[in-house]
Structure 1
Amino acid sequence: MSINSEEELIQYVKDDDFMMDVLKAAKELKLADWWVCAGFIRIKIWDTLHGFSQKTAPPDIDVIYFDKTNTDEAEEKKLEAKLRELKPGLPWSVKNQARMHTVNNIPPYLSSVDAISKFPETVTALGLSLDANNQIRLAAPWGIEDALHMRVKPTPFFTEIQERAAIYEKRIKEKNWKAKWPRICVEHVPGEENTLF
């Protein structure tokens, strides 16, 4: 199987009942600037390109939004509880990107898509949402080419500073994605690849 464009990726998502159910549940929360992101999409792409007949269960389902009016972490826990009511048994994780810069000790994000652009890997910097007519919206600030070519590399944000590059390398080692998806190619940050391997 192959995915060659954003349109084809969106069609694969439309045809996936599980993914659509997740997106519709997230939409029920009526959050500002909301997206389901990261592994939720990457896993779909890699499973499809590897020809897996059985879906890989995501370790978590990341729902992000951007709301400066309430940055209390407790609100995120309430939203996770609502999602567990709507779709029980799923590993929901909800994070307001209007506060996550304080957790990550970086300048404030401008929006959810700005936050996505600063995720560690380009293949993770992807988001899906639904518009008012339940049409799928795709956020891909670094494009989808790396995901489609199964090429793991850091976003520019994670190559600017040595500490971030080290975080990227640590994640790559801990995630060990190649064990599950052997056809992926992992790129390392020059000068960092031997610090952890």
Structure 2
Amino acid sequence: MSSDLDARLETIIRGVPTTMQVLQTARELDLPDWLIFSGAVYQPVLNHLTGRAPDYGIKDYDLGYFDASDTSYEAEDVVIRRVAEAFDPPLRDMVEVRNQARVHLWFEGKFGEAYAPLTGTAEALGRFVSPLFAVGVRLEADGRMTVLAPFGLEDLFAMRLRPNPRRPTNGFARTAASLSARWPEVSIEP
């Protein structure tokens, strides 16, 4: 992964007040193995590259954490409520928190595809529909920003959407259509 692209991503994310508020609050919550990922990270970059407002197109902020000690919905719901209480509206309804240790329990029922158990939050990034989406960030206690991108950041900064080469999924066409409607500048590679 290019450190130049990491630095560029960090500069863009630090320039989005709402995303930084989510990162700072998530840091204070100190959930195990947490990351902000998906649209909360790639959409501000696409907005920056296309001259749009920093928050354009952002419908939610995905906050993943990993706690295998209790994978019940009840335990996750306690965390969901705790996170919601940490935010004022409208972020209270926009931050979607999920325990990545339990995704395999509901994924197939919701999306019709098998999903093996994860061993950590970062592993989930490698299963996203496209490398463009597979980016997560965490704001560390000392203020540093950790950037995780198992496929690198080249696709994101090239505005290139292509299927995940490691995990083909039937959701790519739907996702591509949705992304193209909001950012028509993105090239789609089937």
Q: TM-score range by the shorter chain?
A: 0.7 to 0.9
1:136 aligns with 2:145: yes
Structure 1 residues not aligned, in runs of 5+:
189-197
- The 5 Å alignment of 1:1-197 reads 5-53=5-53, 55-88=55-88, 89-90=90-91, 91-104=94-107, 105-159=114-168, 164=169, 166-173=170-177, 176-188=178-190
% identical aligned pairs: 27
Q: 1:147 to 1:178 in 2, by over 3 A?
A: same
What CA deviation, in whole Å up to 9, does each residue of 1:8-65 have, x standing for no partner?
1112222322211100111222111100000001110100000114631521211001
Cα deviations by residue, 1:89-139 (Å, 9 ceiling, x for unpaired): 121211111111222332221211111111111111110102221211111
After superposition, the C-alpha distances for 1:154-184 in whole angstroms (9 at most, x for unaligned) are 212332xxxx2x22223323xx222221210
Amino acid across the alignment from 2:136: G
TM-score between the two structures when normalised by the length of structure 1: 0.83
Output the amino acid matched with 1:132: A
Query: In the superposition, relative to structure 1, how do residues 54 and 142 fare at CA in structure 2: closer, same or farther (>3 Å)?
Result: closer
Unpaired segments of 5 or more residues in structure 2?
108-113
Task: Measure the CA separation in 1 of the matches of 2:57 and 2:74.
Answer: 27
Does the Cα contact within 8 Å between 1:126 and 1:141 map onto a contact in 2?
yes
Give the aligned partner of residue 192 of structure 1.
none
> Does the Cα contact within 8 Å between 2:80 and 2:98 map onto a contact in 1?
no
Deviates more, 1:113-122 or 1:82-91: 82-91
Name which of structure 1's ranges 54-63 and 117-126 shifts more when overlaid on structure 2: 54-63
Measured in 2, the distance between the counterparts of 1:54 and 1:101 equals 33
The alpha-carbon deviation at position 69 of structure 1 amounts to 0.4
Give 1:67 shift.
Answer: 0.9
TM-score normalised to the size of structure 2? Answer: 0.86
**What amino acid sits opposite 1:16 in the alignment?**
V
